[in-house]
Amino acid sequence: MADVNRGNRPLSPHLSIYRPQLNSITSILTRITGNALLIGAILIVWWFVAAATSESAFATANSVITSWLGDLVMFGSLWALWYHTLAGVRHLIWDNAAMLDLGSAEKLGWAVVIGSVVLTILTVLVI
């Protein structure tokens, strides 16, 4: 039975109470990028299947993937891949009970964010 003397207090902490922290944002982004990578993977699989199917199917898939929107999706997928990879490395570090203090966790968060941007740009420049 609920406590009737709670007054007008919230039942649990929520986003309107806490200021977003880097660790919470990077955690949410890890989940988002993991799911978003499916979009890029589906497009690439579609491209391969179209190439194996017919010339017209490949022409359609290729025109979508090489369009400005396709380029944008592929660039975003590349960033998501680097981000998700670096976030996974961060979690491997934490799984070894290392760098769990707040200062080190903050540095790892920035390393994931900055590292993913730098690696994405380097990948685009090399390819």
3-class SS of residue 100: coil
The full set of domain ranges for the chain reads 22-126
Binding-site residues sit at 84
Q: Please list the ranges in the chain whose pLDDT falls under 70.
A: 1-6, 10-11, 13-15
Contact between 76 and 41 under an 8 Å Cβ cutoff? The reply is no
Binding-site residues for heme sit at 84
* Count of positions (residues) in the chain: 127
Q: What is the pTM of this model?
A: 0.81
Residue 98 DSSP code: -
Q: Average pLDDT of the chain?
A: 91
Overall fold of domain 22-126: 3 helical TM bundles of succinate and fumarate reductases (1.20.1300)
For residue 87, what is the enclosing H or E element?
Answer: helix 68-95
The predicted pLDDT at position 1 comes to 53
